[in-house]
Structure 1
Amino acid sequence: MSDGSPGAGRARLSRERVLRAALAVADGEGLPAVSMRRVAEELGVETMALYRYTPSKDDLLDGLVETLFLELEERLADAGHPAVAGPTPGHLARTDLRRALHGLASEMYRVAEAHPNVVSLCATRPLTVPLTRRPPAVLRVHERLLTLLHAAGVEERAALRTYRAFISWVLGYIVIDLREVVDDPDEPDPAFRLGLHRLPAKDFPMLRAAGPRLAERGHEEQLTAGVDALLNGLGAGDGE
């Protein structure tokens, strides 16, 4: 926390700094710790100084989602991902489309993996506002996904099916893989850590038996395998 005076802190404030401070609190202390007061403490300013940049707790939470998607854009740009370059319509081979979608899914996973305490917001906060009122950084991911499908010559209806399935799969997978709720985080045995021993064996034999595997993350390998399954099933990843 800064040792500067509240006035000096306000002079240095920006929306980006406020959101970065909120992300730092979420990363270090968990999402429930994020509040206007706690973020102000992190910045070394009075709570009221934040309202110029984020007028409410809901806006602060939406801003956390925005910050993660801005980080995603930076990663895509650094990787030279075709989604950032904007491929020419009709000039993206289907094999390149598959690689591009693998890369997009993997970068989304890596951002979420760096900020697991905020992952759940990426699935829940966008549902509170219409699509057109979401932060531009969030909308650009949707736009770039559709652009990739269009550039690969995917027929419009197949493109929309693939777009919806891709977003749903990637966000759902990330939330489940990274935000597992455990019964006892200090328990070394996977089944006991998940609390599966509390389930009646006669009613839930499969869950009990799968305990060790359920406690393991699927990571990017299973994420991209799911993307392949979507492309193959929806007819958006075949041919050139």
Structure 2
Amino acid sequence: MTQQAERMRRIPLSRDRVLRAAVALADEVGIEALSMRRLAQELGVVPMALYKHVAGKEELLDAMVDALVSEIDPPVPGAGWRDAVRLRVLSARAALLRHPWARQVLESRTNKTPAVLGYMDSFIGMFLAGGFSVDLTHHVMHALGSRMWGFTQELFDDAAASAEQPADFPPEAQAAMLREMAERYPNILKVAAASAHEDSVVGRGCDDQFEFEFALDLLLAGFERLHRQHWTSTPKSL
């Protein structure tokens, strides 16, 4: 046994230590490769030792989501609702980008933990504190959807990928496929090609951070307009 493994074995096992190791392991190998057995090996213990701290894989994943929530900055005191919401969403996105497994795990959770419910409650509270009606806040939360957690489904990634052929394709084949795309799906090709930014922070394709913030700012501007208009979903009586 190596000295490092021996030192790890001597450190008392705790729920916090199990959780920190699980997050680090998922960051390194991906969520699919995370198992109780693999985690036990990482900690230098037998698998059964983990079950004293987490009931199983599902409880472990719930706890990992809670750890993600703890990394999201709280609302900025004294900030207007719009700044507070924007900063909170971007903090959530930063946490999500630090942990590539987080989106998949968030989407897989069917039961919301107290930490998740607390985040949602606090998030809603930013709008209510800004003077939004309960009615408007309800619809605002629907509009934000997963953006509250810092992610959205990307629209043009697949289209852009299908418009660009692998480098080992003969130039004639690439040209022929692009011509077919132009004939069959001209609008998709036009927009997908426009998204192929050479200077994208994520490589060729859309600049995810820019697109995310662009859509977020559009939503916040729309929410502000409705709030000022005292919008309500209740139809006005004639």
Please, what TM-score do these two structures have when normalized by structure 1?
Answer: 0.71
State the match for 1:216 in structure 2. 206
Contact 2:136/2:227 (<8 A) preserved: no
* Map of 1:37 onto structure 2: 37
CA-to-partner distance for each residue in 1:105-161, whole Å, 9 max, x for gaps?
A: 100110011111332212231xx12xxxx2222112111112111111111100111
Deviates more, 1:105-114 or 1:145-154: 145-154
Structure 2 CA distance for partners of 1:217 and 1:19, relative to 1, 3 Å = farther
Please tell me the root mean square deviation across aligned C-alpha atoms, in Å. 3.3
**Which position in structure 1 is the counterpart of 2:200?**
none
Unpaired stretches in structure 1, ≥5 consecutive residues: none
| Residue 191 (structure 1) aligns with | 164
**Structure-2 separation of matches of 1:43 and 1:192:** 44
- In the aligned structure 1, how far is the partner of 2:158 from the partner of 2:21? 25
How far off its partner does 1:223 sit?
A: 2.4
Secondary structure of 1:164's aligned partner: helix
Higher Cα Rg, which structure: 2
In 2 relative to 1, CA 175–153 (structure 1 residues): closer, same or farther, beyond 3 Å? closer
Separation (CA, whole Å) in 2 of partners of 1:104 and 1:53 = 31
Higher relative contact order (CA 8 A, sep 6+): 1
CA distance in 2, matches of 1:224, 1:30: 27
Structure 1 pair 205–150 and aligned structure 2 pair: CA distance change class (3 A) = same
Gaps of 5+ in 2: 167-173, 197-204, 230-238
| Identity between Structure 1 and Structure 2 (%) | 27
Cα distance in 1 between the residues matched to 2:34 and 2:28? 10
Whichever structure has more helix as a proportion of its residues is 1
Q: CA deviation at 1:69?
A: 0.8
Distance 1:205 1:13, change over 3 A: farther
Find the partner of 2:125 among 144, 147, 151: 147
Change (3 A) 1:160 1:44: same
- The alpha carbon displacement at 1:6 in A equals 8.7
- What is the CA–CA distance in structure 2 between the aligned matches of 1:148 and 1:65, rounded to whole Å? 22
Structure 2 distance, partners of 1:212, 1:26, is 35
CA distance in 2, matches of 1:56, 1:152: 41
Distance of aligned partners of 1:206 and 1:42 in 2 relative to their CA distance in 1, 3 Å threshold: farther
1:174 alignment partner, SS class: coil
Alignment match of 2:104 (pick from 120, 141, 164): 120
- Could you tell me which amino acid in structure 2 is paired with residue 191 of structure 1? E
Match of 1:226 in 2: 215
Aligned-partner residue type, residue 67 of structure 2: T
Match of 1:3 among 2, 5, 10: 5
Counterpart position of 1:107: 91
Scaled by the length of structure 2, the TM-score of the pair is 0.71
Alpha-carbon offset, residue 43 of structure 1: 0.9
- Specify the SS of the correspondent of 1:54: coil
CA deviation string 1:162-193 (max 9, x = no partner): 1232243344x62535xx789x9xxxx99347
